């Protein structure tokens, strides 16, 4: 596990080896963070994405970052569409983070920036997504030395910060299990 940092800002301004985008299965570009990444990287990003599509939820694929240089790679991952929480959404979201880190590692990436995948149009509740993100990056052994979780707004920033401050698996507003002493 690398150093994990929460930052507030526009992910397209991050000076890292790889930026992760919350794509849709077509990899042609969408709204939200994916729209911003495609605008910043230029039209070659959609061409490169189309050649690798479709990308199923939870998977991750890399393309060059084109006009985002010195960023080297865009890692496209597709989050789960929120359907109430009983449809494997947590597992799919965790796989987005884990698989993105695996792809980054294969490419020799030393620093990576993630957006808050699935918490926008895909509707994943923020606090729950923050815990999934924090736990996934903390529990994945990785050679990527620097991991930035980039929040576009203060609420997301605080949710991620709080999730990282808690033991793995504990949601905001919940108490960690109490260690009971016998007697
Ligand atoms: P999804 O479709 O996976 O829900 P969205 O792009 O709609 O993805 O939202 C994911 C998160 O990305 C949201 O917190 C949204 O505010 C944030 N976001 C939007 N634009 C940017 C940006 N330029 N940099 C970082 N985060 C962004």
Cβ(116)–Cβ(80) below 8 Å? no
Residues β-bridged to residue 21: 76
* Residues forming the active site: 34
Beta strands across the sheet bearing 3-8 = 3-8, 146-151, 111-114, 18-23, 73-78, 60-64
* 115 CA → ligand 1 middle, Å: 6
Cα 116 to Cα 22: distance, rounded to the nearest angstrom: 8
- List Cα–Cα distances, 59 to 26, 39, 158, 177, in angstroms: 13, 22, 27, 32
Q: Is the pLDDT of residue 183 over 90?
A: no
Asked whether 82 lines ligand 1 (CB < 6 A), one says no
Residue 79 in contact with ligand 1 by CB distance below 6 A: yes
Nearest to 23 by CA among 111, 118, 101, 92: 118
Nearest-CA residue for ligand 1 atom 3 is 118
Let me know: does 62 contact 18? Beta carbons within 8 Å.
yes
50 lines ligand 1 (CB under 6 A): no
pLDDT tier for residue 117 given thresholds of 50, 70 and 90 = very high
Instruction: Domains for the chain: give ranges and CATH numbers.
Output: 3-165 (3.40.220.10)
Q: Ligand 1 within 6 A of 120 CB?
A: yes
In tens, the pLDDT along 95-107 reads 999 999 999 999 9
Q: How confident is the model at residue 182 (pLDDT cuts 50, 70, 90)?
A: low
pLDDT of residue 179: 67
- What interhelical angle do 126-139 and 154-165 show, nearest 10? 50
Q: Sorting pLDDT into bands at 50, 70 and 90, what band is 113?
A: very high
144-177 residue pLDDT tens? 999 999 999 999 999 999 999 999 866 656 666 6
Mean pLDDT value across the chain: 94
């Amino acid at each position: 596990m690398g150093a994990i940092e929460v930052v507030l800002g526009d992910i397209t301004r991050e000076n890292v080896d790889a930026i992760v985008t919350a794509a849709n299965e077509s990899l042609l570009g969408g709204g939200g963070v994916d729209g911003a990444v495609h605008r910043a990287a230029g039209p070659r990003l959609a061409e490169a994405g189309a050649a690798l599509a479709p990308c199923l939820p939870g998977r991750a694929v890399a393309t060059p970052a084109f006009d985002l240089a010195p960023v080297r790679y865009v890692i496209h991952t597709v989050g789960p569409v929120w359907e109430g929480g009983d449809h494997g959404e947590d597992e799919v979201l965790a796989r987005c983070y884990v698989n993105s880190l695996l792809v980054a590692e294969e490419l020799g990436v030393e620093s990576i920036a993630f957006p808050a995948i699935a918490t926008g149009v895909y509707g994943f509740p923020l606090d729950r997504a923050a815990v999934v993100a924090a736990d996934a990056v903390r529990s994945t052994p990785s050679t990527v030395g620097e991991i930035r979780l980039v929040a576009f707004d203060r609420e997301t920033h605080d949710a991620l910060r709080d999730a990282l401050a808690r033991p793995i698996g504990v949601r905001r507003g919940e108490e960690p299990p109490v260690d009971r002493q016998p007697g």
